[in-house]
Structure 1
């Protein structure tokens, strides 16, 4: 089984390799940076586009919250597959 890094929001917030911004008292983390940091494909994670500042220039970046990241990483990996199998079975 693949070993996942022990990660807490405190560790993530301190890590300089993951761009982040605080918006309305909640922290949002760059999805692309999280993919690199975790070495995980986060396609389909709940995210919003927020302006992140790089050298005084703001760029629109897909960001996610800690809660959405946890929920995504702990989801059932065959959840969407099961749904598609059941839909196909009902058509027969």
Structure 2
């Protein structure tokens, strides 16, 4: 799992980001490419991010939300539904 440093992430131009209510939100799609991981389960909000002067509605999440999703064990939900304690 790749470590994320927010200071480096803010400087990286390959990740679209926006500051909203004093909190930074990062494009979930760009973070998937940046980390090389599947982030389809991350909780997100849709925010307007200007790209080349045009505003696009993009799915964004805070770094905390992304980290919380990454820390989950991959089969956590599966184990609970299949294995039962006797």
What is the RMSD computed on CA atoms of the aligned residues?
1.3
The answer as to 2:47 corresponding to 1:50 is: yes
TM-score, normalised to structure 2's length?
A: 0.89
Secondary structure of the corresponding residue to residue 48 of structure 2: strand
| Count of paired positions | 84
How big is the shift at 1:82?
A: 1.7
Residue in 1 that maps onto 2:15: 18
Distance between the aligned counterparts of 2:76 and 2:15, measured in 1? 28
Structure 1 residues without counterparts, runs of 5 or longer: none
Match of 2:68 among 53, 71, 79: 71
Secondary structure of the corresponding residue to residue 58 of structure 1: strand
TM-score, normalised to structure 1's length?
A: 0.84
- Show structure 1 runs of 4+ deviating over 2 A: none
Structure whose alpha-carbon radius of gyration is higher: 1
